[in-house]
Amino acid sequence: MSDLRTNLRIEKPVDDAALADWRRVHNTVIPTHPLSLADARDRSVRHRLEVAYLDGDLVGCSTVRPPEEGSRTATAIARVLPGHRRQGFGEELYRRALAQARELGAEAVETVVLASNEDGLRFAVRRGFTEIERYVLPGSIVEWIDLRLAD
């Protein structure tokens, strides 16, 4: 993993080009809920976003939703493009997202996975997340799974 960390660059998207990369990963991993560039800009203000590159190639992204007022629960999401999975990139994105959630004061951490994303679900379960809820958003037929990191 030392070579991976040497060549992997993870950064906050600070311009529209980087936000477009974050959006591309999001929309590839979650094709049932595509976001516009304006959506990505909005999320960059409300959440902590990061984009990962390996030798200049887009690999993945992460999102950390801070705890809402009155809550001590943050949401940490790591997404990796299919061609880059099972190489440790998700682990690094997840590690950073979890640290950011803790920095934001989270006592509990959750994640959300598209039910059809078997790789993502396996990844979360292997890191100690357990399912707490399945649901379908109003007007949709797509099932989502909320998971919470076990203490």
User: Would you place residue 57 in the very low, low, confident or very high pLDDT band (cuts 50, 70, 90)?
Assistant: very high
Express each pLDDT in 102-116 by its tens digit. Answer: 999 999 999 999 999
The answer to whether the CB of 109 falls within 8 A of the CB of 73 is: yes
CATH fold, domain 2-106, is Aminopeptidase (3.40.630)
H helices within 30-117, ranges in order? 37-46, 89-103
pTM for the whole thing?
0.91
Question: With pLDDT > 70 as the criterion, what percentage of the chain qualifies?
Answer: 95
Q: What is the DSSP letter of 56?
A: T
Residue 82 contacts by C-beta under 8 Å, 6 or more apart in sequence?
A: 28, 119
Express each pLDDT in 84-100 by its tens digit. Answer: 999 999 999 999 999 99
